Each structure stands twice: as structure tokens, then as C-alpha cells.
Amino acid sequence: MAAFSWQHNDGKLVFSGELTRETVPQAWLERDQWYEDKKQIEVDLAGLEHVDSAGVAMLLQLKKHLLQQQCELTIVQPSQQFRAIVDVSGATELLAI
């Protein structure tokens, strides 16, 4: 069973485990706890072991959601796998990685 977790660490939002179609629904339900009135969120992906297209789609949706609240999303330490999925999907510029 895939697992996903997150925590706040030194002003960053740190993701761990897997961000996949199995874990995205629960992660999305927790998203309001990630930013709490901040103007910028830095998401550290170094702890992710696996990401699939559902995980990338969730981050794209999160970026859109945050922009509506005038909050900026920055992705740091993406894996090569993550970069490849983003490149193939044509979303490199949107995620600005």
C-alpha cells in the first residue's frame, strides 16, 4: 500500500513517500493545512520515492488553487522522474522547476 506524508520543516512543506493516484485523494483533502494564510509555499519533493501523473496533476491543481488565493507555489528538489513527467506533460513552465 502506497503511503504519503507531509510536514512543515524550516518554512518548507516537505513531502515524503509516494504521490500517486492512490495517495492523491487523501493528500488533496489535507491541502488547506499546508499553507494557512501564507503568500508563498515552498514544496520540497526530495523525500518522495515515487510520483506519477496523478501526483503532477495534483500539484498543478494546487498551484491553480493557490493562485486564486494570491499565494505562490515553488517546487524544490524534484527528482529526475518528476522532471520527466512534467516535461512530457508540457507543464515545465507552469511549475517553474
Domain at 73, CATH number: 3.30.750.24
pLDDT band at 3 (very low <50, low <70, confident <90, very high): very high
Q: Is residue 42 domain-resident?
A: yes
Q: Is residue 70 part of a domain?
A: yes
Q: Which domain holds residue 75?
A: 34-97
Round to whole Å and give the CA distance between 92 and 97.
6
One-letter amino acid at 29 equals L
C-alpha cell at 60: 498543478
Selected residue with higher pLDDT from 97 and 93: 93
The CA distance from 86 to 56, in Å, is 7
| pLDDT mean across residues, the chain | 90
Report, as an integer, the average pLDDT of 17-27.
97
Task: Return the SS3 of 4.
Answer: strand
Residue 88: count of CB within 10 angstroms of its CB: 11
* 80 found inside a domain: yes
pLDDT (tens digit per residue) in 43-81: 999 999 999 999 999 999 999 988 898 989 999 999 999
Q: Does any domain span residue 79?
A: yes
**Count of domains in the chain?**
1
Cα separation, 38 vs 93, in Å, equals 23
Integer CA distances (angstroms), 82 to 32, 37, 49, in order: 23, 27, 10
